[in-house]
Amino acid sequence: MTSPARKHFQKVTAAQAAGATPEGQVQTGDQYELHAAALYEARRTLKGIKSVKAKIEKKRELLPEFDSYIAGVLEAGNGAQDDVLMTVLVWRIDVGDLPGALDIAEYAMQHDLQTPDRYERDTASLIAEEIADQALRMLAEEGADAPALVEILARTAQITAEHDMHDEIRAKLHKALGYAHRDAGSLQFALEDLQLALSLNERVGVKKDIEKLERELKNAAQGESAQG
């Protein structure tokens, strides 16, 4: 367990190194090298785990060791290419820490950071698709916090809006946002996002949900008219 004093030192020195490395160059510094080595060992450990669920739990266990470093980079970084930062972004999505992932995502998009080669997708596409997939899994669980997921997905759509990506990925993002709106009780917003998803990908799988929302909204409007 890292002590509070050690965490503070990691954050300060990471911030200093990040602030001293120009945008577009590869991140350097003692803290980067230490955390890159720790990440290498963590990935070796994960490679030996077959169960996806167990891998996620191991990532959840490992992630706090990188928190101080990440905080320092986000606080003072100039946008140097940083594979530790970008890997932690993906891991935070994997464990369901979507707000924490988006804090990194916004920084990454602002500075045009690239994902490590093993992820085989550009940053905007990875952020949009992975957050959409995770949100859809969360919405399928009992007791999902739909209003919080609306905020997360809307924030994801906003920071990736100007970046080119396959229509299928953006469709999935708006499908997730539509379902989150629906579960949060915002049926009109849900309908609009699902219609947008369908316009981007006709096989996105939302046609019946659109029809159901249209009926519900029509019935609600008729009920209000009858009362008025």
Go through the domains of the chain in sequence order and give each one's CATH number.
1-120 (no CATH), 127-228 (1.25.40)
Q: What distance, in Å, lies between the first and last C-alpha atoms of the chain?
A: 64
- Low-confidence spans in the chain with pLDDT less than 50: none
Q: Determine the pLDDT at residue 63.
A: 96
Q: Determine the pLDDT at residue 8.
A: 72
Backbone dihedral angles phi then psi of residue 82, each to the nearest 5 degrees: -140, 100
Q: Determine the pLDDT at residue 224.
A: 66
Q: Determine the pLDDT at residue 191.
A: 98
Q: Determine the pLDDT at residue 147.
A: 97
Reduce the DSSP state of residue 139 to 3 states and report it: helix
Q: Determine the pLDDT at residue 207.
A: 97
The one-letter amino acid at 130: E
Which residue, chain included where needed, has tokens 């698709």? 129
Q: Determine the pLDDT at residue 7.
A: 76
Structure tokens at 208: 């019946």
Contacts of 21 (CB under 8 A, 6+ apart): 27, 28, 29, 77, 78, 80
